[in-house]
Structure 1
Amino acid sequence: MCGITGWVAYDTDLTQQQDVLAGMTATLAARGPDAGDVWVRPRAGLGHRRLAVIDLPGGVQPMTALDDTVALVYSGEVYNFVELRDELAARGHRFRTASDTEVVLNGYLEWGAAVAERLNGMFAFAVWDERSGSLTLVRDRLGVKPLYYAETRDGVLFGSEAKAILANPLASRKVGLDCLHELVGQTKAPGWALWDGMREVEPGTVLTVTSQGIREHVYWRLGTTEHLDDQDTTVETVRSLLSDAVRRQLVADVPQGVLLSGGLDSSALTGLAAEVMPGLHTFSVDFTGQEENFRPDELRAASDEAFVREVVTHVGSTHRTVTVDTRELLDPALRRTVVRAWDLPLGLGDINSSLHLLFRAIRAESTVALSGESADEVFGGYPWFHHEAARTARTFPWLAFAHSINTDRMAVLREDLRDRIDIEAYVADQYATAVARVEFLDGESELERQMRVICHLHLTRLVRALLDRKDRMSMSTGLEVRVPFCDHRLVEYVYNTPWALKSFDGREKSLLRAAVRHVLPVSVADRLKSPYPSVQDTKYATALQSQAAEVLAADSAAFALVDRGWVRAAVALTPEEITGPRRQGLERVLDAHHWVQEYRPEFTF
């Protein structure tokens, strides 16, 4: 999996900057706990932190070829590397290792940046080519693996995470008013990064850096094609594509398992994985006393654990439930760790913290885990896909569908900032930009056009935010999480399946249910969607108030961003009143406090 970083400078001798490159690389140690190294030449330096998954002794990076004139740092996994290695060997390439890294490097030597089009996987990599004096940055199609860059006076800095770039003295730590629009708007604007001068390499994109500047090439986008298969053929094709993705993603030279929530998505992967991997290990998360004291809410109709047990019994997996205690979630050191992993203020509170704890516990037993992330975006599983007001709203459906996470997102900001940020206009502009990228078929009905837009928004916007969260929380513990539902072949096929087929039985995710019913207990195959759990212990909300009161007393630097009056009012409420948006607001205040202390930003608003 790993973490990558680097620096290209056409007018600076980087052999004199090895300590800086080592510092940039060190910020990614959690992503790659097994090894780390830097490769430096006068015009380019590359850094790598390794999480060893395939060919443990052989896949060491940075990896070079042609007498050190071409160097690669690579993060992720390529699932068709065996086929590509055979093809490259037939073309005369020789391999010293059994790693997918060397396949990517030789693929670059054979096809240049076009190698990206041949890769099936999740990846972000950088190639310095001394022959042309160029740096090539490549990111996978769906954006599973992160990659950021920032231009300098004579080149570029890049890294898997913003913190690697910020470790270079040339990087700006300024955060301006424009940066706050997306932080609050939650539209996942293409290329956005919080810091002035920093950008995210967009999914499906190649950046080529030379002394003349940066050139961008999009090698993949979500396209529109006519779907000609009938219902039975469509279900069978989905089953085949998903089964193949699971099979490919169970290749590793380290222990691996499956994240099992008891919902349709993770249970489907568990059932398919059990067919090809005897002795499968599964993992779930729960909170102390949650099952006994569970109360249905706006998003969760039932507790997960009973369904988890049914799946475990059905497939015969070796299972571990990671039980999280409220006191663990309230540890300020944990929040600081999670904020550092996230790189952003205004996070998701206990949802992120418990996910980090789950991954940390899994990492003690396994290095790789499969996740059901992105199935809802691919198959149309969220409530707002089926909520008329949300799906007909002229905005992003997840913003139109009111719930505690997205309600009153500006409430905790300073009043003068709220007055100066026109979020409605920003979101409307982003929505128009996103919709303009959708291609339609001639003769599509109004409903089909509407649902194509919604599916496109989810697969090009929302899914990227959720994949980033999953990557950050997992890699901060050194755990590689793989996402079979992001196999681009499956995504392309299901995206172009008409909505009438996606919902052929009148339920959400009809195609997925039909394709995987044979590996699931009936109760799980028919279960309604339930999102990732959140702690319901009332003591948690009370403790959030106490910690927010300490932030007030300490006169935190976060008040450059956060509204004091809002915090004072929230601290004075009764515990029963700390629900929904108020509780989420307290989480954001505490996250902002730790983020400001950790990153020391220079606000320019």
Structure 2
Amino acid sequence: MCGIIGIVRASDMPVPGRDVGLAMNDAIVHRGPDDGGIFRSDDALLGMRRLAIIDVAGGQQPVGSDDGRVQLVFNGEIYNYRTLRAELSALGHTFRSASDTEVILRAYLQWGEGAIARLEGMFGLAIWDGRHHRLVLARDRLGKKPLFLWQTPHYLAFASEMKSLLAIPGFSRRIDTSVFGAFFAFGYVPTPRSIFQDVVKLPPGHYAVFESGRLRYQKYWDLDFQPAFRGSESDAREELAAVLDKAVSDRLVADVPFGAFLSGGLDSSVVVALMARHLSQPVRTFSIGFREARYSELSDARRVAQHLGTDHHEQVVEPDATTLVEQLVWHLDEPFADSSALPTFLVSQLAARQVKMVLSGDGGDEAFAGYDRYLRFLALDRLGPLRSVLALGLDGVGRLLPGMRGFRLRRIAQRLRVPFPDSYLSGVALSRPEQIRQILADDAASTHPYTALHGLFAADDRRPVLDRIVDADIRSYLLDDILVKLDRMSMAASIEGRAPLLDHRVVEFAVRLPPSMRVRGGRGKHLLREVARRWLPSDILDKPKQGFAIPLSEWLRGPLGQMAADLFGSRAFRERGWLQPGNVDGLLQAHRAGTADHGETLWQVLCMELWARRFVDAARA
């Protein structure tokens, strides 16, 4: 696991010196505290920071071909590298190390761009082919590892984290205010765009080739919901058990101590149960909880740990939220408002005291339709024409009820009135469109905040509605929220996070199941839960779902509320011109008084303002 950087020239202007490469590397030293390296030629500058997981002694980067004309930097892990190495050895390739990095290089030398589709794992990589003056960039199928690109008339630059690009002389920090609506709707900036006008994210399942000053994109994988699974449920259980077991066993290859995050929920419990089947020593598991009982799953995690006999480590945290949020802003690169990044960071810090790699349960909710919002939307969708009647009734009752009860009923009524896909997106969104328009400055409020995701819902799509919303979530929420959170927070603690439930074969199998094998009896993850009964007791599997949440609304009526008041009342905030300060003040006052719950929206404003101070104001200073 590493962080990678690079610059390739597109004109007669020389490539920046090694000092720029070192500064770009220094910005992401947390991603690779074990080692670093720089390659520079007349045409290209490549660098990396390394977290040594496989071939600790021999896996240094950049790694070059025998003649030095092809150079590779790579972030991630390739789980089928031993199979590829054997195939390449049979073709006459000789290896100097035992690393998966060198396997990628020699696969490229053998198969060219076709090598990328042969890689199974998580990766962001760059290959400078000096023989043809060509740069090849690639990202894994589901987007577990990030890759940012900045193109100018003179250069193409790339980095695992956008903060590395800021170290390049002349980097443009022009803000793209048109993404503000999407950020306040969903809590992230959707791929391929970024908060900066001139920076894009390489889409997952793609590689890009930069040659003769031109950049072309090529898709090498796409998630296909066909062919649909046609076997019996018994057949499905056997096939799922096998594909899960392989996904976990593939991710147990490491030359350093490793463990697992354990929340006590279904997904992480399944991962730990399968790890235990393959390891001769107890699995090291890590859990955190908050003092507020309803935000803590420690008792559930403890029960799973006892059942599986893990070497369990837990901690009740009372974090200094005002300090932590500033740390998160630095590591997340862009405005990012999923508050569960905070507990993910804390559990990563806990694990980092003992291990350098962890397995997590991320991805199960998307692939196996586990989110409660899927169930709520399916229930609303079944109402058909009755939706408008119900909306009228709920709105009327909501106006009669005081406080939060009436507020929530009116929100449900609003959702019932809008057509698909906004009827689904309104259940995903953190803030309502009218509230977003209320706080955004006029130029940023002109576009409907859901527009950024409308392209995920083709009008002629005849698939079941469950498949349509799951597909959209995998291409948006999973990609730009869940995977960003896992990558940045684990890397912030200098540990590697692996997600077996996001093995592309697991995801492909899950989304091809009929909806009845994913959602049944008012619950999601039906088939996954049934398979898990082989390894876990019913009291663990049948408990209500609980997210990895923090007491956000309560904190914003406490210390975070005061921090927000200070920031929102500052001259910098009022003169920035992005938001309408008076309306933001009104939301904060209503929230602190307890007459409404604006916790998510206020958190978004807070994250954006702290980001602006760190990445915009600091640069100007």
Fold equivalence (TM over 0.5): yes
Deviations along 1:223-282, whole A, 9 cap, x unmatched? 222322221111111111011110110111111111111111111111111111222100
Deviations along 1:541-587, whole A, 9 cap, x unmatched? 3212211232245423475234322343355457461874x222332
Distance 1:263 1:65 in 2: 46
Distance 2:561 2:535 in 1: 45
- Contact (CA 8 Å) 2:79, 2:250: kept in 1 or not? yes
Deviations along 1:25-45, whole A, 9 cap, x unmatched? 211111111111211001100
Instruction: Label 1:10 to 1:570 Cα distance change in 2 as closer, same or farther (>3 A).
Output: closer
- Contact (CA 8 Å) 1:258, 1:283: kept in 2 or not? yes
1:175 counterpart SS class: coil
Which is worse superposed, 186-195 or 107-116?
Answer: 186-195
2:241 counterpart SS class: helix
1:279 counterpart SS class: coil
Residue equivalent to 2:318: 325
Residue equivalent to 1:56: 56
2:88 counterpart SS class: helix
Residue among 341, 347, 363 paired with 1:358: 347
Distance 2:9 2:27 in 1: 21
Instruction: Label 1:131 to 1:508 Cα distance change in 2 as closer, same or farther (>3 A).
Output: same
Residue among 267, 278, 283 paired with 1:280: 283
Residue among 509, 513, 516 paired with 1:493: 509
User: What's the offset of the Cα at 1:118?
Assistant: 1.0
Residue among 447, 450, 462 paired with 1:427: 450
Matched letter for residue 335 of structure 1: V
Matched letter for residue 569 of structure 1: G
Instruction: Label 1:429 to 1:196 Cα distance change in 2 as closer, same or farther (>3 A).
Output: closer
Distance 2:177 2:48 in 1: 33
Residue among 431, 437, 459 paired with 2:474: 459
The normalised TM-score by structure 1 is 0.89
Instruction: Label 1:383 to 1:5 Cα distance change in 2 as closer, same or farther (>3 A).
Output: same
Residue equivalent to 2:492: 476
Matched letter for residue 523 of structure 1: D
User: What's the offset of the Cα at 1:435?
Assistant: 2.2
- Contact (CA 8 Å) 2:553, 2:600: kept in 1 or not? no
- Contact (CA 8 Å) 2:258, 2:284: kept in 1 or not? yes
Counterparts of 1:63-142 in structure 2, within 5 Å, are 63-142=63-142
Verify: 1:563 aligned to 2:580, yes or no: yes
The normalised TM-score by structure 2 is 0.87
Residue equivalent to 1:385: 374
Which is worse superposed, 124-133 or 225-234?
Answer: 225-234
Instruction: Label 1:435 to 1:498 Cα distance change in 2 as closer, same or farther (>3 A).
Output: same
- Contact (CA 8 Å) 1:271, 1:520: kept in 2 or not? yes
- Contact (CA 8 Å) 1:12, 1:42: kept in 2 or not? no
Deviations along 1:324-379, whole A, 9 cap, x unmatched? 114x2232xx2221101111225234x22232122112111111111111100000
- Contact (CA 8 Å) 1:78, 1:123: kept in 2 or not? yes
Counterparts of 1:3-42 in structure 2, within 5 Å, are 3-12=3-12, 14=14, 17-42=17-42
- Contact (CA 8 Å) 1:59, 1:98: kept in 2 or not? yes
Which is worse superposed, 386-395 or 544-553?
Answer: 386-395
Residue equivalent to 2:201: 200
Matched letter for residue 358 of structure 1: V
User: What's the offset of the Cα at 1:155?
Assistant: 3.0
Verify: 1:370 aligned to 2:359, yes or no: yes
Distance 2:286 2:99 in 1: 28
1:341 counterpart SS class: helix
2:107 counterpart SS class: helix
User: What's the offset of the Cα at 1:501?
Assistant: 2.3
Identity of aligned residues (%): 31
- The CA RMSD measured in Å over matched residues stands at 2.5
Matched letter for residue 320 of structure 1: H
Distance 1:84 1:69 in 2: 22
Distance 2:220 2:443 in 1: 40
- Contact (CA 8 Å) 2:557, 2:591: kept in 1 or not? no
2:559 counterpart SS class: helix
Instruction: Label 1:362 to 1:495 Cα distance change in 2 as closer, same or farther (>3 A).
Output: same
Distance 2:272 2:420 in 1: 37
Verify: 1:344 aligned to 2:361, yes or no: no
Instruction: Label 1:276 to 1:67 Cα distance change in 2 as closer, same or farther (>3 A).
Output: same
User: What's the offset of the Cα at 1:415?
Assistant: 4.5
Instruction: Label 1:149 to 1:539 Cα distance change in 2 as closer, same or farther (>3 A).
Output: closer
1:207 counterpart SS class: strand
1:518 counterpart SS class: coil
Verify: 1:305 aligned to 2:295, yes or no: no
Instruction: Label 1:52 to 1:180 Cα distance change in 2 as closer, same or farther (>3 A).
Output: same
User: What's the offset of the Cα at 1:538?
Assistant: 4.2
Distance 2:569 2:265 in 1: 43
Counterparts of 1:387-466 in structure 2, within 5 Å, are 387=376, 388=378, 394-395=420-421, 399-401=425-427, 406-408=430-432, 411=435, 415=439, 417=441, 420-424=444-448, 427-428=450-451, 430-431=453-454, 433-436=455-458, 449-465=464-480, 466=482
Residue among 574, 578, 600 paired with 2:616: 600
2:468 counterpart SS class: helix
- Contact (CA 8 Å) 2:194, 2:334: kept in 1 or not? no
2:300 counterpart SS class: helix
Distance 1:165 1:154 in 2: 15
Unaligned stretches of 5+ residues in structure 1: 295-299, 441-447
